[in-house]
Amino acid sequence: MTVAAERPFTDSQEFVLEVDSVATRFGTAVIHDGVSFNVARGDVVALIGGSGSGKSVLLKEIIGLLQPSAGSIRLLGMDVWRGSLDEINALRRRFGMLFQDGALFSSLTVAENVAVPFREHTDLPVELILPLVGFKLSLVGLSPDVGGKMPAELSGGMRKRVALARALALEPEILFLDEPTSGLDPISARAFDQLVRVLSEGLGLTVFIVTHDLDTLLSIIDRVIVLADGKVIANDTVNKVMKLDNPWIRDYFQTRALAARKEGSDGT
């Protein structure tokens, strides 16, 4: 798959996410040492880096679960770590988060899981909530009769889709995804990628994906941010980043070429 063509509505340079000189220290260990980048509305952005480079920690800081030691993070125009609890909770209704294994509530059915944001944050009557839940499940490619199942009865791919439906319940402006394709077979992984892309284009969503998956990068991502040694070492379109002269980046994008070369020498 080729890299996605220029997006139709990233003409405005409104930044929905501004990370400015974020530093994170746990005791003497320095995880981030001045991380800065911006994400424009409508972009589909990926954050990559080696294992242990602090990607998941950064994601937690952006969504307000872990406080950075220094620096600021502005999400949808609001400083995440300087607002009151009410302001932060109001902000949380404007973005959706997909955790790595879905993080569905294990004692609720699928439909009840997706209905949680509606029940907790809106006054909608039940007659409106159930059809909406069915629609959200359908939006992520699941049949609405999955609604009566418990999360433990679902496969990993289905769990992630349900979690995506829940993340999209309140019509968020940004969607955060933490390694969405990990543990999925290649077909499901590509299908999930396409789903994210279709939803992003159809709904005008900004998408921020923390990922290891090279195929995701090469198929649906507009810009990629590379985190290494506690700093951002690249922040550009995938094509441009692939050509950078950095050993880690070269190795990362070479893995595909290595596999292809090995196959070629075995096959012929």
Partner 1 sequence: MNTTPKWIEPDTDEGANVLRLTGVWRLSNLAAISGALQSVAPGGENPYVLDGSGLQELDTAAGFILCRRLAPPGGGNLELTLRGFDPRHERLLALVRDRMDCPAAVSKPVHGGVLHRIGTATVALWKMLQSHVGFVGTVALELLTLMRRPRLFRFKETMAQFETICLDAIPIAGLVTFLIGVVIAYLLGIQALQYGANVFVVDGVGLAMCRELSPLLVAVVVAGRSGAAFTAQIGTMKVQQEIDAISTLGLSPVQVLVIPRLVAIIIALPLLVFVGYIAGILGGMLICAVQLDITPLTFLDRMHSVLPTSAPVVGLVKAPVFAAFIAIIACRMGMLVARDARSVGLNTTSTVVQSIVWVILLDAVFAIIFQHLDI
Query: Given the complex with partner 1, which of 147 and 157 has the nearer CB atom?
Result: 147
Would you say 62 or 168 has its CB closer to partner 1? Answer: 168
Q: CB of residue 94 vs partner 1: minimum separation in angstroms?
A: 11
d(CA 72, CA 78): 10
> Shortest Cβ distance from residue 122 to partner 1 (Å)?
7
Binding site for partner 1 (CB under 8 A): 8-9, 106-107, 109-112, 114-115, 122-125, 128, 130-135, 137-139, 143-145, 147-152, 168, 170-171, 198-199, 201-204
Q: What is the smallest separation between the CB atom of 71 and partner 1, expressed in angstroms? A: 33
State the minimum distance, in angstroms, from the CB of residue 3 to partner 1. 20
Nearer to partner 1, 171 or 251 (CB): 171
**Cα Rg, the chain, nearest whole Å:** 19
Give me the least distance between CB of 88 and partner 1, in Å please: 19
Distance CA 229, CA 143 (A): 44
Nearer to partner 1, 5 or 152 (CB): 152
25/98 Cα distance (integer angstroms): 25
Minimum distance from residue 140 beta carbon to partner 1 (Å): 9
Residues forming beta bridges with residue 116, ordered by sequence position: none
The 10 Å CB-count burial string (b at 16+, else e) for 66-82 is: eebeebebbbbeeebee
Token pair of 44 as six digits: 């589909």
Q: Which is nearer to partner 1, 62 or 91 (CB)?
A: 91
Query: In terms of DSSP bridges, do strands 206-210 and 223-228 run parallel, antiparallel, or are they unpaired?
Result: unpaired
Name every residue whose Cβ is closer than 8 Å to that of residue 67 and which is 6 or more positions away in sequence.
61, 81
Which residue number, 50 or 183, has a Cβ lying nearer to partner 1?
183
* Positive/negative CA dihedral, 75, 160, 194, 238: positive
Q: How far is CA 179 from the centre of its chain?
A: 7
| Residue at 153: amino acid letter | E
Task: Tell me if residue 23 falls in helix, strand or coil.
Answer: strand
CA–CA gap between residue 230 and residue 220 (Å, rounded): 26
**Closest CB 185 distance from partner 1, rounded Å:** 19
List all residues 6 or more positions away from 111 whose beta carbon is below 8 Å from its beta carbon: 130, 133, 134, 137, 147, 148
Kindly tell me which of 81 and 99 has the beta carbon lying closer to partner 1: 99
